[in-house]
Amino acid sequence: GEDVEQSLFLSVREGDSSVINCTYTDSSSTYLYWYKQEPGAGLQLLTYIFSNMDMKQDQRLTVLLNKKDKHLSLRIADTQTGDSAIYFCAESTVTGGGNKLTFGTGTQLKVEL
Protein backbone atom coordinates (compact mmCIF):
# COMPACT_ATOMS: atom_id res chain seq x y z
CA GLY A 1 0.00 0.00 0.00
CA GLU A 2 0.96 3.62 -0.25
CA ASP A 3 2.49 5.47 2.64
CA VAL A 4 4.03 8.93 2.58
CA GLU A 5 6.02 10.33 5.47
CA GLN A 6 7.30 13.80 6.28
CA SER A 7 8.91 15.50 9.22
CA LEU A 8 6.46 17.73 11.08
CA PHE A 9 8.31 21.01 11.58
CA LEU A 10 11.05 23.11 10.02
CA SER A 11 12.23 26.52 11.14
CA VAL A 12 14.56 28.68 9.02
CA ARG A 13 15.76 32.27 8.92
CA GLU A 14 14.56 34.59 6.18
CA GLY A 15 16.94 34.46 3.23
CA ASP A 16 18.18 30.97 3.98
CA SER A 17 17.28 27.88 1.97
CA SER A 18 14.64 25.48 3.26
CA VAL A 19 14.72 21.77 2.55
CA ILE A 20 11.58 19.75 3.20
CA ASN A 21 11.91 15.97 2.99
CA CYS A 22 9.47 13.21 2.15
CA THR A 23 9.61 9.44 1.72
CA TYR A 24 7.13 7.31 -0.16
CA THR A 25 6.61 3.58 -0.48
CA ASP A 26 4.80 2.82 -3.72
CA SER A 27 7.23 0.95 -5.96
CA SER A 28 5.42 1.59 -9.25
CA SER A 29 6.01 4.57 -11.50
CA THR A 30 4.22 7.55 -10.18
CA TYR A 31 3.97 11.30 -10.08
CA LEU A 32 4.93 13.06 -6.89
CA TYR A 33 3.49 16.43 -5.97
CA TRP A 34 4.20 19.27 -3.60
CA TYR A 35 1.29 21.34 -2.30
CA LYS A 36 1.32 24.38 -0.02
CA GLN A 37 -1.40 25.16 2.53
CA GLU A 38 -1.53 28.58 4.15
CA PRO A 39 -3.65 29.11 7.27
CA GLY A 40 -7.35 28.96 6.47
CA ALA A 41 -6.68 28.30 2.80
CA GLY A 42 -6.87 25.44 0.36
CA LEU A 43 -4.05 23.42 -1.17
CA GLN A 44 -1.98 25.26 -3.72
CA LEU A 45 -0.11 23.14 -6.25
CA LEU A 46 3.57 24.09 -6.24
CA THR A 47 5.26 21.58 -8.49
CA TYR A 48 5.45 17.91 -9.42
CA ILE A 49 7.95 15.38 -10.71
CA PHE A 50 7.73 12.02 -12.42
CA SER A 51 9.44 9.19 -10.62
CA ASN A 52 11.91 8.56 -13.45
CA MET A 53 13.36 12.07 -13.11
CA ASP A 54 16.11 13.09 -10.72
CA MET A 55 15.52 16.79 -10.46
CA LYS A 56 13.16 19.56 -11.46
CA GLN A 57 13.72 23.28 -10.99
CA ASP A 58 11.06 25.96 -11.08
CA GLN A 59 12.21 29.44 -10.07
CA ARG A 60 13.00 29.29 -6.34
CA LEU A 61 11.83 25.68 -6.04
CA THR A 62 14.02 22.64 -6.67
CA VAL A 63 12.69 19.11 -6.36
CA LEU A 64 15.18 16.29 -5.92
CA LEU A 65 14.17 12.65 -6.23
CA ASN A 66 16.17 9.63 -5.14
CA LYS A 67 14.16 6.82 -6.66
CA LYS A 68 16.28 4.07 -5.12
CA ASP A 69 15.60 5.34 -1.61
CA LYS A 70 12.12 6.65 -2.51
CA HIS A 71 13.15 9.99 -1.06
CA LEU A 72 11.82 13.31 -2.29
CA SER A 73 12.87 16.78 -1.21
CA LEU A 74 11.68 20.31 -1.89
CA ARG A 75 14.25 23.06 -1.66
CA ILE A 76 13.07 26.65 -1.41
CA ALA A 77 15.82 29.14 -2.15
CA ASP A 78 15.91 32.57 -0.44
CA THR A 79 13.04 31.66 1.88
CA GLN A 80 10.69 34.55 2.67
CA THR A 81 8.16 35.09 5.46
CA GLY A 82 5.43 34.53 2.86
CA ASP A 83 6.68 30.97 2.49
CA SER A 84 5.51 30.15 6.02
CA ALA A 85 2.89 27.46 5.52
CA ILE A 86 2.34 23.71 5.68
CA TYR A 87 3.90 21.80 2.80
CA PHE A 88 2.49 18.46 1.73
CA CYS A 89 4.07 15.91 -0.52
CA ALA A 90 1.66 13.57 -2.26
CA GLU A 91 1.95 10.46 -4.33
CA SER A 92 -0.39 9.80 -7.25
CA THR A 93 -1.58 6.22 -7.51
CA VAL A 94 -4.02 4.50 -9.81
CA THR A 95 -6.98 3.08 -7.96
CA GLY A 96 -9.97 1.41 -9.55
CA GLY A 97 -10.65 3.25 -12.78
CA GLY A 98 -9.27 6.52 -11.53
CA ASN A 99 -6.51 7.81 -9.32
CA LYS A 100 -5.98 9.34 -5.94
CA LEU A 101 -3.40 11.34 -4.08
CA THR A 102 -1.89 9.90 -0.91
CA PHE A 103 -0.62 12.75 1.24
CA GLY A 104 2.07 12.94 3.85
CA THR A 105 1.38 14.47 7.25
CA GLY A 106 2.60 17.86 6.12
CA THR A 107 5.66 19.85 7.22
CA GLN A 108 5.02 23.16 8.92
CA LEU A 109 7.60 25.67 7.75
CA LYS A 110 8.21 28.67 9.97
CA VAL A 111 10.32 31.49 8.57
CA GLU A 112 11.87 33.76 11.17
CA LEU A 113 13.24 37.25 10.65
Partner 1 sequence: DSGVTQTPKHLITATGQRVTLRCSPRSGDLSVYWYQQSLDQGLQFLIQYYNGEERAKGNILERFSAQQFPDLHSELNLSSLELGDSALYFCASSVAAGGLTDTQYFGPGTRLTVL
Our CB check for partner 1 shows the closer of 12 and 108 to be 108
At 83 the three-state DSSP class reads helix
Q: In this structure, are residues 33 and 48 in contact, taking their beta carbons and an 8 Å threshold?
A: yes
Nearest distance in Å: CB 26, partner 1: 11
Our CB check for partner 1 shows the closer of 10 and 106 to be 106
Nearest distance in Å: CB 16, partner 1: 28
CA distance 89 to 19: 13
Nearest distance in Å: CB 18, partner 1: 21
Q: In this structure, are residues 52 and 67 in contact, taking their beta carbons and an 8 Å threshold?
A: yes
Our CB check for partner 1 shows the closer of 62 and 105 to be 105
CA distance 111 to 55: 25
Please report, as ranges, the residues that interact with partner 1 according to CB under 8 A. Answer: 29-31, 33, 35, 41-45, 48, 50, 88, 90, 92-106
Our CB check for partner 1 shows the closer of 14 and 108 to be 108
Nearest distance in Å: CB 36, partner 1: 11
CA distance 109 to 12: 8
Q: In this structure, are residues 88 and 7 in contact, taking their beta carbons and an 8 Å threshold?
A: no
